[in-house]
Each structure stands twice: as structure tokens, then as C-alpha cells.
Structure 1
Amino acid sequence: MGKTAEAIAEGVSIASAAARLAVRNHILVETIAHDAPFDIATTAPFAHDTLIALAEEQEAAAALAKRQRKKAWGKFTDPDGTHDYRDRDMRNLRKRHRQYIGVAKELRRIAEDPHAVRTLVEQSRDAAWGDVEANLQRRLRVEGMRPDLDPDYDRMRVARMQSLRLVDLPRLAAHRRHLADDADPADAVNGPPSPRASGIDLSELDA
């Protein structure tokens, strides 16, 4: 289990990362989906509530560990499953309880510290803007890419041409045949056989 202080610090770090992710997603939804302006003051309450919710999860885990410890006391038989604890597990369950309580206490302290909450919001904002910037750059690279600048152009061109020949052209030909089947037979005109390539009637591709 490691030292209690180290375990608490690691738990707080994990919970803080989860809080940043939640606040980041909140910022993205509010600014992009709801077209709301970003403001630290209006986002801070959400960050505070997120930290409190995470603290409550830790407290619930601590309460569970306490119940499990009481249930395990005096049991020396073989366990029936992973969470069927015995007397020999009492020490670890006691450590878990202390660790959960320690993480919850620290999260509540952070939630009540305006400076810490503001820092959390700013970090989440930076992460959100980083996601937006990465998506924009990715789209610009794709839409603005020229064949001579794309190192994978030749390799991917073969795949694209195969997809065109095996998927797109047959689909288009089937669509044209469907249109022809729905047409008036009196409008049909007999003529020479249509040229074909790779099993595709090229005349069906005429606009």
C-alpha cells in the first residue's frame, strides 16, 4: 500500500486530473455548443462542485472500507472472492480508510481555496483551448495539404484509387441502373454496346 502520505498525494493528483478533465469538458460545451463567453467567475462554481463531488466519492469509499473492515474482523476462513475480506486484511483496509479520508479532506480544502479553484479553472481553460487549436491545425493540414507536401500521398493514393474503383464506381453505377429501371421503356434507345472498364459501364458515369 505504501506510505499513507504518499498514497494520499497520489490520490489527490489523480482526483485533480479528473477535475481538470471535467472542467475542461464543461468549458468546451459552454463555449462551443452553447456559444457562451468564457469567464473564470462563472466557471469557478462548477469547478468547486466538481471537487466536492470527488471528495464525496472518496468519503463513500472510506465508509465502504470501514464496513468491510468490521465485516472481516475475526474471520479466518478462506475467502470466497476478491472482496470477501478476512481478519488478515484488516491492516490494509484500515490504511485504505485513512487514505480515502485524507484525499477527501484535501479535495475539500482545495475546493474552499479561491486561488486553488481559479488555478484549476485556468489549467482547464488552457487544456480546452489546446484541444481546439489541435483540431483546427489538423483540419488545416488536411484541407490545405498538397500532393507534393504530403509524404504519404503516393502510398495512400493506391488505397484511394482502389476505394474509388471497388466502392464508389459500383455504387454510382448501381444508382444509374436504378434510375434506368424506373425510366419509361418507350424512351429507351438501342445503340452499340457501351464501353466497360473493370466491370463498370462507363456510359453510366456520364453526367
Structure 2
Amino acid sequence: MGRNADAVDEGVAIALAAARLSVKNAILVSTISLGESFDPQHFTGTARDALIALADEQDAASDAMSRARKAAWGRHTQPHGTHDYRDRDVRNLRRRAKQYAGVAKALRALAEDSEQLRDLVERARGAAWQDVETNLQGRLRVEAMRPEQDPDYEKMRDARMQALRLVDLQKLSAQARRKRKAAAGETTGAPS
């Protein structure tokens, strides 16, 4: 029983990490892209939906293992691939189906627990803030850094100069040509 319980606990932990990532992304989109204020109540539905979707995936995996177990029953030939199960795999497939079903049941219970949902949203908010903070620190470090403070300045200088010549100056030149053509079209009265 310990092996099944451990597998279910591990599956729930992995699923919670996936749900947290999903809620974190929803928080980032809502607050940064859409400019909305963070409201934990707004994201409890997102957290519940994420947990239910993951539980549905686990139920589907459990059903797949049950079908594979039934198909493997009584087959004693050599398998032709990784998922070509035989009679000797029946016990393992039964255990895997139970573990998937156990994870699904635990996730559904979490999805109905308002305290667990609030905790999931709060952890996702913390992860979202960590992403924003890391991004800001990186940008401030790079944009505010002076050449003598950058340990890779000399090593990367040639690549930056090449990018300036091949990309930035080419873009600037093309932009200037478009402006000249547009200005020439306006002075001659030709439609642009």
C-alpha cells in the first residue's frame, strides 16, 4: 500500500506544480497584459478549473491503463514495442490505473477545498511576482551596466558590433529609404 500512496502523493505534487504554473500564467496575463488588479477571488475559479482538468487527464490515463490491462490479459507472446503489453504486465497496469485514479480523486478533493484553492492562488501569485522581479532585475542589470562592470564586455563586443552592422544599421538604412520614398511621393503628388 505504501508504494501506491507514495505514487499518488508524488502525482498530486506534480499536478499541483502544473496547476500553479497555469494559475501563475493567468495572473501574469491578467495583471500585466490586460492591466487588471490582482484579486485572489478572481483566480480561485482558474485554480479549480486547472485542478479539474488535471483530474480529468488522470481519469483518462486510468481508463487507458484499464483498457491496456484488459487487452494484455492472456497474451503470452513477445511484445513488439514499449506499449505492447502482455499478461505479465497486467499486475503493473492494474496498479498504475489505481494510482492514476487516486491522483484524480485527490485533485478533485483539492478543487472543492476553498482553503487549498486560496493557497494555490497565493503560491501562484508568489511565483508570478518572482518572474516579474527576476525579469526586472535582469533588465536593470543589463541596461544600467557600464562596460567596465560587465565581465563579458570584451568577449561579446565583436558579436555586438557585427549585429549592429548587419541588423541595426540595415534596418535604419531601410527605414531611411522608405522615408525618402514617401517624402518624394508627397512632393510629386503621386499617391503613396
Tell me the TM-score range normalised by the shorter chain: 0.7 to 0.9
What are the within-5 Å matches in structure 2 for residues 54-203 of structure 1?
A: 54-164=54-164, 167=166, 171=170
Cα offset, 1:163, TM superposition: 4.3
| Matched residue SS, 2:82 | coil
Mapped pair 1:7 → 2:7: yes
Deviations 1:85-123 (A, max 9, x none): 111100100110110011011111111111111000000
Query: What is the alpha-carbon distance in structure 1 between the residues aligned to residue 78 and residue 152 of structure 2?
Result: 60
Q: Does 144-153 or 12-21 show the bigger shift?
A: 144-153
CA RMSD in angstroms, aligned pairs only: 2.4
CA distance in 2, matches of 1:162, 1:61: 52
2:28 — aligned with what? 28
| 1:71 Cα deviation after fit | 1.1
Alignment match, 2:42: 42
1:82, CA displacement in angstroms?
1.8
Distance 1:135 1:108 in 2: 34
Residue type of the alignment partner of 1:76:
H
Higher Rg of the two aligned structures: 1
User: Equivalents in 2 of 1:171, 1:19: separation in Å?
Assistant: 45
Classify the secondary structure of the residue corresponding to 1:3.
helix
1:28 deviates by 0.6
Q: Normalised by the size of structure 2, how large is the TM-score? A: 0.83
The change in CA–CA distance for 1:67 and 1:154 in structure 2 (over 3 A counts) is same
Cα displacement (A) at 1:10? 0.8
- 1:155 positional shift: 2.1
Shift in Å, 1:171: 4.2
Q: State the identity as a percent.
A: 57
Question: Structure 1: 5+ residue runs without aligned partners?
Answer: 183-207
Distance 1:57 1:7 in 2: 16
Structure-2 residue corresponding to 1:186:
none
How far the C-alpha of 1:38 sits from its partner, in A, is 0.8
Specify which structure has the higher proportion of helix.
2
What's the counterpart of residue 188 of structure 2? none
Structure 2 CA distance for aligned equivalents of residues 128 and 90 of structure 1: 43
Give the aligned partner of residue 191 of structure 1.
Answer: none
TM-score by length of 1: 0.78
Figure out how many residues of one structure are paired with residues of the other and give that number. Answer: 177
